[in-house]
Structure 1
Amino acid sequence: MDPRSRKIYHVHGFDSRQYLEHYFSDKPDMVLGDDSLIFPIENLAKTFTQGHINGDVLIDLTSGFFVHHLYATCEFFQHIIVLKVSDRCIMELKRWLDTRTGAFDWGHATKLHGEIQGNSDQFQEKEGKLRSTIPHVVKCDFEKENMTDPIVLPPADCIISAVLLDSICKDQDDYRRYLRKFSRMRKPGGHVILIGCLDMTYYTVGKDKLHAFPYDEDFARKALVGEGFVIDNCKVKKRTVVSDLIDYKAMIFIAAHKEK
């Protein structure tokens, strides 16, 4: 397939439920769990329990609808504001927040977080805590100067962007431009956490093959440093399983901050 004909997440959208089933479920044929579930949960848990990232507001920017990466954050922030470009993803998230029939079951991810933190018997409490910490799910447009116009969000103590830059960027200039735009939503001295897939050119959702921007660890580091960030932590995990759904070669986790 010509890469130019592939769908683009924030332009064409995708089936958000199939996306979850392919990459984040507990089904036996979902072989990517070490990378899509355990890797972000472990690194976020370690990062936040160190205690130097906390505050009033965390803004979450992710592709699709997934929440498992936020379990580690809800003890350290008063409010988590989730931004989504897709009405369908907003619907999926609100269905989970309201515990409505048909909501995606994140119980397996909650238990994983509990096992990593050593309190797996409290997973139901953790889900309730996370739900209560998300007061707003806001639709956004990445091309607007204020992405949430007409809503003006409070500046964030921390921004998490998970596999979003991978999905919306066409090239290196795009990556830097969106990174700059996202980082403007921080408070002075605030933090940015990026989670992504290295050297990925496509991912599949249902019958659709979607565009991805391939980049490596060196580029991600240089992009952050070029925007004035100091990198506090960077972890890379090489892919160990085979699946035709997606062609990334490794996962990356970077936590960074700007001096006040």
Structure 2
Amino acid sequence: MSSIAAVGESYQRFNPRAYLQNNYMPPRADFSSEDCVVPWKLRCLAEAFATGDIHGRTLLDVGTGPTVYQLLSACDHFEEIIATDYLEVNRDVLRRWVQGEPDAFDWSPYIKHVCSIEGKGEQWKEKEQKLRGKLRQILPIDVHQPEPLGSPLGHLADALISTFCLEAVSPDRPSFERALRNVTSLLKPGGHFLLIGALEESFYLAGEAKLSVVPVREADVKEALAKSGYQIHDFRSYVMPPSLKIGVDDVSGVFFAHAQRTPVA
């Protein structure tokens, strides 16, 4: 069984561009079909924020990677958004997008789709600028440390979001559960956590890097959330169709969870 140190070492070969090509371009990013995995994820997030329950001063994204799609519906509901990632190469990709660098990944199809499903009449350029303006910090994180950010933020986050992180950096289920507990320490009691991840996946590719993933089932995720003191408000699963099994991983599906940390009595 791989160790946490070995996982960290394997990520030094992570190629953000290859990862984005594999997962965030067609065929997986097909906006013509609501049945495709990317529109499914965007709708889960949009509907969670549309409840009006998830809002506040600070949203913290745990393990942002080189992506921002998961923050598009969030940016109307928080004063600031903090992105975090273990890898400097991913943090650099995020900074280049925030700064509008010409070689940054083009998220405009995602932004246009989110504006469409939210139905607020918002222009996509407005949302793009709003998110860039609210992404004020891009910080290093290590979810396997009891203090994942290395030092306290100064205040607990009102909400957390995390996509394809905890299971992808954990060598086994106990490590996955500890990582969840560690990041929960960054969330205020009563705060909300939106979690998206892979179901029954053992590896994925990002360029020359072949990254191990701890395979988790729906029941494993629900149990881990309960152990960390969460009440689950919504849990959904997506079954990856054969047409989207393109050889870059062995994922069987994707889960979405909206959970709330138990308030202090």
- State the TM-score, normalized to the length of structure 2: 0.89
Unaligned runs of 5+ in 2: 30-34
What is the match of residue 24 of structure 1?
24
Aligned counterpart for 1:253 among listed residues 251, 256, 265: 256
Aligned to 2:32: none
> Within 2, Cα distance between the matches of 1:168 and 1:42?
26
**How many residues are paired up?**
253
**Which secondary structure state, in structure 2, belongs to the residue aligned with residue 62 of structure 1?**
coil
SS of the aligned residue for 2:116 comes to helix
Q: Deviation above 6 Å: which 4+ runs of structure 1?
A: none
Alignment-mate amino acid for residue 258 of structure 1: R
The superposition leaves residues 136-166 of structure 1 with CA deviations (integer Å, 9 ceiling, x where unpaired) of 0011233433222246352111101110012
The question of whether the paired residues in 2 share the 8 Å contact of 1:37 and 1:68 is answered with no
What SS does the aligned partner of 1:147 have? Answer: coil
Please state whether the residue corresponding to 1:237 is helix, strand or coil. strand
CA distance in 1, matches of 2:89, 2:27: 25
Residue 35 and residue 225 in structure 1: after superposition, are their counterparts in 2 closer, same or farther (change >3 A)?
farther
Q: CA RMSD in A?
A: 2.0
Distance 1:208 1:57, change over 3 A: same
Using a 3 Å threshold, how does the CA distance of structure 1 residues 155 and 11 change in structure 2: closer, same or farther? Answer: farther
- Is 2:139–2:149's contact at 8 Å kept on the other side of the alignment? yes
- Rounded Cα–Cα distance in structure 1 between residues aligned with 2:88 and 2:152: 17
Partners of 2:209 and 2:98 lie apart in 1 by: 28
Normalised to the residue count of structure 1, the TM-score between the two structures is 0.91
Name the structure 1 match of 2:216.
215
Instruction: Tell me whether 1:172 sits opposite 2:173 in the alignment.
Output: yes
Counterpart in the other structure of 1:135: 136
CA distance, structure 2, for counterparts of residue 257 and residue 224 of structure 1: 9
CA–CA separation in structure 1 for the residues paired with 2:250 and 2:73: 28
Q: Output one character per residue of 1:116-138: Cα deviation in whole Å (capped at 9) or x when no partner.
A: 12357611111001111111001
Task: Report the Cα offset of residue 179 of structure 1.
Answer: 0.4
CA gap of 1:237–1:182, structure 2 versus 1, over 3 A, is same
Q: In the TM superposition, what are the counterparts of 1:60-71 in structure 2 within 5 Å?
A: 60-62=61-63, 64-71=65-72
Q: Tell me which amino acid in the other structure corresponds to 1:194.
A: L
CA distance in 2 between partners of 1:44 and 1:238 (Å)? 17
Quote the residue 1:79 is aligned against: 80
Over residues 192-225 of structure 1, what are the superposed CA-to-partner deviations in whole Å (9 max), with x where a residue is unaligned?
1110010001111123321111010011111111
8 Å contact kept, 1:96–1:103 = yes
For residues 60-209 of structure 1, what are the structure 2 equivalents within 5 Å?
Answer: 60-62=61-63, 64-118=65-119, 122-150=123-151, 152-209=153-210
**Secondary structure, aligned partner of 2:210:** strand
The 3-state SS of whatever aligns with 1:233 is strand
SS, match of residue 51 in structure 1: coil
Identity of aligned residues (%): 28
- The AA in structure 2 aligned to 1:223 is A
Unaligned runs of 5+ in 1: none
2:117 alignment partner AA: I
| Contact 2:62/2:83 (<8 A) preserved | yes
